[in-house]
């Protein structure tokens, strides 16, 4: 892999991020605050998804397996 191409691609992604969020028109200190808040919110969303989504998926699977999966066994 060419390091220069990867570096150019990362710069292009950052430029696209700035265009989409319109953060290129902010002052440097405002950009820093905006990026800090954005990264913090993104980190909280990822952490919350990592902690709580598996629990809810497991509970949903247990709930639906009780409804659809388990048939009463005959007493022998």
Q: Distance (Å, rounded) from C-alpha 48 to C-alpha 65?
A: 25
How high is the pLDDT of residue 67?
Answer: 87
**Rg from Cα positions in the chain:** 24
For residue 72, pLDDT over 60 is answered with no
Does this model's pTM top 0.85? My answer is: no
Q: Give Cα separations from 37 to 7, 16, 44, 52, 73 (angstroms).
A: 25, 18, 11, 22, 56
Looking at per-residue confidence, does 57 or 74 come out higher? 57
Q: What is the rounded distance in angstroms from the CA atom of residue 23 to the CA atom of residue 26? A: 5
Q: Three-state SS for 68?
A: helix
Does the pLDDT at position 75 exceed 60? no
Choose between 71 and 59: higher pLDDT.
59
């Amino acid at each position: 892999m060419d390091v220069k191409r990867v570096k150019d691609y990362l710069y292009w992604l950052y430029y696209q991020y700035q265009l989409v969020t319109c953060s290129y028109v902010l002052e440097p200190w405002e950009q820093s605050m905006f990026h800090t808040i954005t990264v913090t919110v993104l980190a909280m969303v990822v952490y919350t998804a990592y902690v709580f989504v598996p629990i809810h998926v497991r509970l949903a699977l247990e709930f639906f397996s009780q409804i659809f999966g388990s048939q009463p066994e005959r007493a022998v």
